[in-house]
């Protein structure tokens, strides 16, 4: 087995003040969806051509993935439609971790 395992990665934890968020009409699901829209890989559409189809993925510019301080630029919609900065309702911490963000294996006989 060949492996290019990476054993050190970065992890950001967001701790949300649920009481303060609720007072502003922001649900935990709204926060979760907003973070997934930005940092996940949400498929928002499919473009169909004669012989191909292309999935349209929503994500932030890769520049925002380099530093957790970019979370201060994320806004969450309240139940009234008001845009509220996530940083006002949450605390972000960054730490190095021993999780394995990716493993690629090649030439594995079956």
Maximal C-alpha separation, the chain: 57
Mean pLDDT of 1-6: 54
More confident residue, 65 or 22: 22
100 and 3 Cβ atoms separated by less than 8 Å: no
Q: What is the mean pLDDT of the chain?
A: 77
70 and 60 Cβ atoms separated by less than 8 Å: yes
């Amino acid at each position: 087995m060949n492996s290019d395992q990476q054993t050190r990665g970065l992890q950001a934890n967001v701790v949300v003040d649920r009481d303060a968020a609720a007072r502003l009409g922001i649900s935990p699901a709204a926060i979760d969806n907003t973070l997934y829209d930005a940092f996940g890989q949400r498929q928002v559409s499919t473009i169909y051509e004669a012989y191909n189809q292309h999935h349209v993925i929503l994500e932030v510019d890769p520049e925002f993935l380099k530093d957790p301080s970019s979370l201060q630029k994320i806004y969450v919609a309240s139940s009234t439609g008001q845009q509220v900065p996530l940083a006002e309702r949450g605390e972000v911490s960054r730490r190095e971790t021993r999780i394995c963000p990716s493993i690629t294996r090649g030439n594995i006989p079956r």
